[in-house]
Structure 1
Amino acid sequence: MVNTFPQAMTIAGSDSDGSAGMQADLHTFFARDVYGISVMTACVAGNSYGIHAAHSLPTDFIDQEFKDIADDFKVGACKTGMLADSELIRNVVKNYNQYDFGPMVVDPVIMTKHGNMLLEEAAFETMRTELIPLATVLTPNFYETQKLAEMPLKSDDDLVKAAHKLQDLGAKNVIAKGYHQDENQREVRDYVLLESGDGFWLTEPYHHTDRVNGTGDSLSACIAAELAKGASVEEAIRTAKRFVNIAIGTPIDVGHKFGPINHWAAQEQI
């Protein structure tokens, strides 16, 4: 039998310290019993102190990656990560429309968890108008939700309104993440708006730790993994939220400064 084992694909950059990007996605796929496939878009040199160099791969090479995967494997779902510029975003859109890679989870890497812009405005608009409409699930962080919805988020009602605005951009299902950086927080609350129009809140304990690198990558990767196994969108989102919260709450001692989450802890408890 060929291609009966569930397979998920990450379209992202390689992060040399292993805490985020493609490496975090592949850690997550492994932990969720899914075979991980990758389209590398860039290489990043960095460690727990920060990123020190980056290099984007040429689009003709990325085209070949997509073709080779489509020619051999059966990708049940895919996810995007950091896409550095408009040319690369359009390359991903072209290839996704050309081949069958299942539902797409878009992690719109636009702004850091501290609110710093990662994309130039032109690339942001390309993502907003060309990539996000392809998303089966859209997973922006708090600041990305504000940017995409073009509104401040000061209350639960604001988060609900923002989720509807993001759905109006074309994303079928949206996770609008709440604020996750208040030192007095006891819980984190994210709002999920499904394609059906139904919505619900996800609530988990807040963990005070700086071992949080790769949380957004791992959340979106876990959703893709569950979709590749045949879970419903709601089931996939609920599993992913729990998976990441356990991984954050059980830190591992790797690196000197901002460390990774613990995918193994989540693997054992879900």
Structure 2
Amino acid sequence: MKTYTRVLTIAGSDSGGGAGIQADLKTFAALGCYGMSVLTALTAQNTQKVTAIHPVPPAFIAEQLKAVLSDIGTDAVKIGMLHSPEVIAAVAKTLVEFSVTNVVIDPVMVAKSGDKLLQDEAIDALKTELLPLAALITPNLPEASVLLGYSVETLADMERAAHDLSELFPSAILVKGGHLASQASSDLLYESSKETYWFPTQRIDTQNSHGTGCTLSSAIAAGLAKGLPMREAVGSAKIYLTNALQAGADYSLGHGHGPVHHFFNYWS
């Protein structure tokens, strides 16, 4: 009997379909995995902005998670938008209860539109309860700055941030350089073995970059679920995202930041 490679996303819903749960499930499917979802919040969102957020009660989030893990199980987990300390606590407790591994955490704090997605009081809970459970944490430069309390803006800053985050959390760290003021979008992987790897990518000229963080972290989780070592999982995910960005640049959708093309390999 065949088995699926299973990947679970714990994140918010993007009604515009470009980020969050929707981007995660598209990524899992595109990479040959069976995707499952635990919704943490509903957002009224399009390519331009987030107009409203409707949080899911923490107890119901935990029930969704228990329902999936007690029956189907998972080979990896991607975690995105967790908006409150109570939600973070509920998710962390359940992950520990089911001894979940291969946890990739994208510490979503601010939408591309600038809208805040994480309560200020939730940051401490994120750092103390959830991030210690991660196999990989994938902050962008603003998120790394919030987690560390100092500005992360350059390649040298990224190296310092990756080292400092690894001192705080027993996981691999991927500091994403999409906010760098340069022609290259370089990401830095700092593994628990203290080895560092740069993943430089030429920046693609496109307005359609909504959901890039969700897509990258989901692609990494898919790679880990398939049994790839961390470095290979990150490298293959970067290639997938770059191709999705390149393919998506040819499309027009909405009036703001459109999505990447998750199914570039399947559409003619």
> Scaled by the length of structure 1, what TM-score is found?
0.92
Q: Distance in 2 between matches of 1:264 and 1:100?
A: 32
Q: Which residue type is aligned with residue 49 of structure 2?
A: G
Q: Which residue type is aligned with residue 190 of structure 1?
A: D
Q: CA RMSD in A?
A: 1.9
Q: Distance in 2 between matches of 1:128 and 1:74?
A: 26
Q: Distance in 1 between matches of 2:135 and 2:94?
A: 16
Secondary structure of 2:117's counterpart equals coil
1:61 aligned residue:
60
The alpha-carbon distance between structure 1 residues 193 and 77, as it changes in their structure 2 partners (threshold 3 A), is: same
Q: Which residue type is aligned with residue 230 of structure 2?
A: V
Secondary structure of 1:43's counterpart equals strand
The alpha-carbon distance between structure 1 residues 206 and 238, as it changes in their structure 2 partners (threshold 3 A), is: same
CA positional deviation for 1:180: 3.0
Percent identity of equivalent pairs: 37
Q: Which residue type is aligned with residue 263 of structure 2?
A: W
2:106 aligned residue:
107
The alpha-carbon distance between structure 1 residues 156 and 131, as it changes in their structure 2 partners (threshold 3 A), is: same
CA positional deviation for 1:88: 0.5
CA positional deviation for 1:207: 1.2
Q: Distance in 2 between matches of 1:15 and 1:25?
A: 11
1:93 aligned residue:
92
In the TM superposition, 1:109-258 aligns within 5 A as: 109-113=108-112, 117-180=116-179, 182=181, 185-251=182-248, 252-258=251-257
Secondary structure of 2:263's counterpart equals helix
Secondary structure of 1:220's counterpart equals helix
Q: Which residue type is aligned with residue 203 of structure 1?
A: P
Secondary structure of 1:48's counterpart equals coil
2:7 aligned residue:
8
> Are the aligned partners of 2:50 and 2:113 in contact in 1 as well (CA < 8 Å)?
no
Q: Distance in 2 between matches of 1:113 and 1:257?
A: 10
> Are the aligned partners of 1:113 and 1:143 in contact in 2 as well (CA < 8 Å)?
no
Q: Distance in 2 between matches of 1:47 and 1:153?
A: 29
The alpha-carbon distance between structure 1 residues 197 and 60, as it changes in their structure 2 partners (threshold 3 A), is: same
In the TM superposition, 1:14-25 aligns within 5 A as: 14-25=13-24
The alpha-carbon distance between structure 1 residues 38 and 213, as it changes in their structure 2 partners (threshold 3 A), is: same
Q: Distance in 1 between matches of 2:83 and 2:153?
A: 29
Q: Distance in 2 between matches of 1:116 and 1:159?
A: 24
Gaps of 5+ in 1: none
The alpha-carbon distance between structure 1 residues 110 and 218, as it changes in their structure 2 partners (threshold 3 A), is: same
Gaps of 5+ in 2: none
Secondary structure of 2:185's counterpart equals strand
Q: Distance in 1 between matches of 2:243 and 2:257?
A: 18
1:262 aligned residue:
261
Secondary structure of 1:168's counterpart equals helix
> Are the aligned partners of 1:75 and 1:100 in contact in 2 as well (CA < 8 Å)?
no
Secondary structure of 2:125's counterpart equals helix
> Are the aligned partners of 1:113 and 1:141 in contact in 2 as well (CA < 8 Å)?
no
1:51 aligned residue:
50
Q: Distance in 1 between matches of 2:173 and 2:66?
A: 29
Q: Distance in 2 between matches of 1:115 and 1:159?
A: 22
The alpha-carbon distance between structure 1 residues 241 and 12, as it changes in their structure 2 partners (threshold 3 A), is: same
Q: Which residue type is aligned with residue 212 of structure 1?
A: S
> Are the aligned partners of 1:30 and 1:36 in contact in 2 as well (CA < 8 Å)?
yes
CA positional deviation for 1:114: 7.2
